[in-house]
Structure 1
């Protein structure tokens, strides 16, 4: 089944505002083969840290591009919601795996450091950057102007100084339902009068809130927001919601894997295609630029292509590392 992308006119929150986008990018993929996509930060007390497996730091061509304190320390702390397969998640052995960890490990080879992933809830990741809890946030986070400027996408009020993004992937948003029971849902407008389960702070939540303003006599959308996407999937699977929504790669992965492929189906079109960005605190220009150079290097040497091919998400690949390319 092929998904097409429709550009919606809703204004995204800061995606996964912090908790997903509006950049018409052609992310068209076969749902059965696609394994990914939107988000997390850390209000959880169960803090877990795990380093990516980067190769020997000796001879790393871009190590001198890093801030000295980070280069000397030999590691970069990454805030991430590690419950968003196939972008980042725990495998059966408890190891952090996925698209983001693989890209981080490849970046680490260029920079001569390890990327240490720290688990947290999506909607607190940017706050963690501000407080210097993390050096970076890498969690299927959509690069939006609101996030860049520190603006709450719902209220349009300034809530922080914002962040810079190094864009490394593109993805859209999808709606999914229980398999064989779409409740007549084929678009966002069809959600009026129904209940949707989403991850808190994501573009999916933002879009549901924006759609509510247009529902009128059809009735409001009941929005149930959870700390992570897996909890939202569980709610839908149990019959507690009519639909769920997440980034297309994530939705496609859930459709393919949950219940052996028997739990969910994607309905309607993929919308709001936009870039994922690695978030860096404002003012940390040297680290931001080093990440950009390292990403360009792995795109050029073919490591990036190997990773997106491995996870079946080459349709969302970028050809260059852009800073703040989201709108």
Structure 2
């Protein structure tokens, strides 16, 4: 009888507060490749800034975590369908997304960057100059929202499931320019001959947070506490320094 009472009490606690770090293995979803945040190295191992930060966060929470690769456009549906428990894949905090998921405190913020070939000479803020251009964005990102809201009817917008596909089309001259997270453009476009920044970077949104199901309020508190500790004890800065030569912390 006592065991039944304890089991019922635990079930009620989980229902009220959702998943906690030590209740089960936490499955964390990443969209790959999205270098330098998450990608596979030459040995096929998953790595990147967010992958390392997630590992440190799990260690701080004393939680066992499994990493899941998920295409970007299936992120929130997959989370709601319980395919995984957390999204830690450069998901910007927006009011629209916050209606469907619960976000942690933001853990980084980077601007969106404009990139294109050396031959590109238009002012990306001048709609007359941009008229007829083809611009690439990753589907469902804040960069997609920005271009859609500000340039619809002026440019042709091509949306991609992965940043990698977008870069391939830029190389294939099927795009005039792309608007992407600045660090992604820096590492996947600027390191290639014949490409440059073609406009000023633009800070968008409130930063990036870990996304979880709305009911997982206790888990959110644990994540926020762990990320706070990692920032205070120098772990965050050590990981950040491996991938960036500028501060993305928020």
Q: Aligned to 2:197, which of 266, 269, 277?
A: 266
CA-based RMSD:
2.0
Q: SS in structure 2 opposite 1:317?
A: coil
| Alpha carbons 1:187, 1:267 under 8 Å: kept | no
1:233 aligns with 2:167: yes
What is the alpha-carbon distance in structure 1 between the residues aligned to residue 216 and residue 240 of structure 2?
A: 28
1:71 aligns with 2:22: yes
Q: Aligned to 2:142, which of 203, 207, 211?
A: 203
Q: CA deviation at 1:266?
A: 1.1
Q: CA deviation at 1:186?
A: 3.7
Partner of 1:117: 67
Partner of 1:324: none
What is the alpha-carbon distance in structure 2 between the residues aligned to residue 69 and residue 107 of structure 1?
A: 14
Q: How does 1:122-271 map to 2 (within 5 A)?
A: 122-149=72-99, 161-178=100-117, 180-187=118-125, 189=127, 190-213=129-152, 220-257=154-191, 261-271=192-202
Q: SS in structure 2 opposite 1:146?
A: helix
Q: How does 1:242-321 map to 2 (within 5 A)?
A: 242-257=176-191, 261-274=192-205, 275-318=207-250
Equivalent pairs counted in the alignment come to: 232
| Alpha carbons 2:139, 2:159 under 8 Å: kept | yes
Q: CA deviation at 1:69?
A: 6.4
User: Using a 3 Å threshold, how does the CA distance of structure 1 residues 127 and 163 change in structure 2: closer, same or farther?
Assistant: farther
Q: So what's the TM-score if we normalise by structure 2? A: 0.86
User: Using a 3 Å threshold, how does the CA distance of structure 1 residues 210 and 69 change in structure 2: closer, same or farther?
Assistant: closer
User: Using a 3 Å threshold, how does the CA distance of structure 1 residues 188 and 298 change in structure 2: closer, same or farther?
Assistant: farther
Q: SS in structure 1 opposite 2:68?
A: strand
Q: CA deviation at 1:297?
A: 0.9
| Alpha carbons 2:134, 2:155 under 8 Å: kept | yes
Partner of 1:49: none
Q: CA deviation at 1:207?
A: 1.6
Residue ranges of structure 1 left out of the alignment (5+ in a row):
1-65, 150-160, 319-327
